[in-house]
Chains A and B, each alone.
Chain A
Amino acid sequence: MSNNQHKPFTERVRSVLYRIEDGILVGLLLLMIGLAVTQIFLRNLFDSGIVWSDILVRILVLWVGLVGAMVASRQGNHINIDILDRYLPERAKPVVGIVVQLFTALICTVAAYFSLLFVQVEYADGGTLFAQVPAWVCESIIPFAFAVIAVRYFMLSFENFKNIFALRP
């Protein structure tokens, strides 16, 4: 019984997290469009503009891109070449999947670790980008995104592990 109740709970947590993530992504995009359009109006009508807006918009591009990449990792929907994949025997697919996903997860873990070092250095430097916002805050999305992608690919490979054992009679 407890097992049955347990599962919907993790599912619920996951769907809440997905919603928050989606919300952030949509919010960032709306902010980006809003700021960019405001900037056009200010420049053309009043010959002025918000000084930090251009920098913020550029950082939003980075954030939108990386959060988008995080969402893409949910189902492993990253751009890849799938020529050989099509011709693999059915039994080999989960095994190949595990190799591919573990490799991706590992690479992202390394990237997350070294990006974190970079952000730490920036934190110690204490530089600001615009309107008192420290640079390290804007950069922190890089290690965060790599870490999330790594976790998701670890989870995908775990799913494949379970599938292999489920296939065994």
Chain B
Amino acid sequence: MTIYIFALILILLALLGTPLFAVILAVAMLGFYYLDVSLSVIAIEVYRIADTPVLLALPLFTFAGYILAESRTSHRLVRLTRACLCWMPGGLAIVAFIACAFFTAFTGASGVTIVALGALLYPALIEAGYRDKFSLGLVTTSGSLGLLFPPSLPLILYAIIAQQMNVGAKVAISDLFLAGLLPGLLMVVLLSFWSLWENRQNPVERPLFSVQEAKSALREAVWEIPLPFFVLGGIYGGFFAVSEAAAATAMYVLVVEVFIYKEISLSKLPAIMRDSMVMVGGILLILGVSLASTNFLIDAEVPIRLFDVIQAHVSSKIVFLILLNILLLILGAILDIFSAIVIMVPIILPVAINYGVDPVHLGIIFLANMQIGYITPPVGMNLFIASYRFDKPIIELYQAAIPFMIVLLAAVLIITYVPALSLVFLQR
């Protein structure tokens, strides 16, 4: 009985805005107290952060992302994609999707994409003849498009948590990077087709392909074009481990933006470094304390009991996956993606494995759902950021985002029920 009272109090505190790390820490403390384990174990669990070599990738990729977000990379990226793709039907919309996906993969879906890229793309879309609501929905949606592409932080965090769980099957970061490629591409393609269909009677501007503009855009972005190849080629060519690729990326981006493009002055650099590490600190603290609470959950056999309860009502894998999708969509709308991963993966992963879901596939399902959560009314984060950035009432954004949400839902269903899409590049 007292357990339920405590649980209720903690949930209420969490909903009232208590930092999630404190809530999780309280859960772990209560748990260990009941198990008669000294609370010093919490320090041991937090210290496990230092026992996880791949974790190095997290601060380094975050830092690289912050640097890219602070420089004029967004301008160069839009210009380059535009120069290469604007001749296509539906050109500018597709340009927007692709540019945003790239940018989000490197900077994380923290709203930077909407602020940096959306601000360039939204007026450009309007100017090219796209309707206001469509354009608004597009930039809002694109703010989290690209979560499934390497080296996105949620992919890394999911892999790290899954590794800590020791579920049998190996869950390498590099596997998740590969697994996200086709599902991410599917989202971009479906969204592109939808914008073609949506604008079929809408005469939008279609400039001719200009070799000169393409050349000059290429030349301008020449230092940044190698980045994706750096990450993917380095890792899969066997030159780098993932954390080494992160170190190389961080160093490369630092040198390029500060010393070659000279867009970030040395005096601004410490503040950017601090801000990026504040974000990392928030994530790592939650990760550290959740290592403790997860340990307690496993000690108390919570995942096994949960599986038994669910198994009693749900026997088929398909039905389980449908329920999982619904749960994740709701979670994605209320929890930020990092806490959702850290809190929910340790509970869901063992259950999903018992239903025969591949852990890598589960990761892709998880993040694909979370991505929709960003634009789910009424509390999806992208809606608020776009409302603030473009000075539009939030209701207008709800309406603008819903068609895009439906397209992404279709993508999520395909991703969920066609595991091969995620697993085809892995030797499984």
Contacts and interface: CB of A to CB of B under 8 A. Distances in A.
A58 B55 contact: yes
Given A69-B284, A78-B21, A79-B19, 19 more contacts: A26-B277, A29-B63, A29-B273, A29-B276, A33-B63, A36-B244, A61-B284, A64-B59, A65-B49, A68-B280, A68-B282, A68-B284, A71-B277, A78-B20, A78-B285, A81-B14, A107-B26, A115-B42, A115-B46
Contacts, number: 191
B288 interface: yes
A40 B247 contact: yes
Contacts of B285: 65-66, 69, 78
Contacts of A72: 278, 281-282
Nearest to A84: B15
Given A29-B59, A32-B56, A72-B278, A119 B43 contact: yes
Given A119-B43, A139-B43, A64 B281 contact: yes
Closest 4 CB pairs of A and B: A68-B281, A65-B284, A36-B247, A78-B19
Contact of B282 (A69, A96, A99): A69
B260 interface: no
Contacts of B29: 107, 110-111
Interface in A95-138: 96-97, 99-100, 103-104, 107-108, 110-111, 114-115, 117-119, 121, 138
A129 to B, nearest CB: 9
A37 interface: yes
Contact of B274 (A71, A84, A114): A71
B338 interface: yes
Given A66-B284, A139-B47, A121 B40 contact: yes
Contacts of B339: 79
Contact of B251 (A33, A59, A84): A33
A66 B243 CA distance: 20
What DSSP secondary structure best describes chain B's contact surface?
helix
Interface in A71-88: 71-72, 76-85
B43 A115 contact: yes
Nearest to B49: A62
A110 B39 contact: yes
Contact of A67 (B44, B244, B276, B281): B281
Contact of A111 (B16, B42, B240, B246): B42
A96 B17 contact: yes
Given A69-B284, A139-B43, A80 B18 contact: yes
B35 interface: no
Contacts of A121: 40
A147 interface: no
A100 B13 contact: yes
B400 interface: no
A63 to B, nearest CB: 9
Contacts of B276: 29
A33 B16 contact: no
Interface residues of A, number: 58
B17 A142 contact: no
B95 to A, nearest CB: 33
A142 B279 contact: no
A41 to B, nearest CB: 10
A58 B274 CA distance: 19
B50 interface: yes
Contacts of B251: 33, 37
A84 B240 contact: no
B412 interface: no
B18 A37 contact: no
Interface string A38-65: 0110001000000000100111011011
A62 B291 CA distance: 14
7 contacts: A26-B277, A62-B47, A70-B281, A71-B274, A79-B286, A79-B338, A103-B26
A84 to B, nearest CB: 5
Contacts of A110: 29, 39
A92 to B, nearest CB: 10
A22 interface: yes
Contact of B50 (A32, A58, A77, A79): A58
A99 B16 contact: yes
B63 to A, nearest CB: 7
Nearest to B333: A83
B274 A143 contact: no
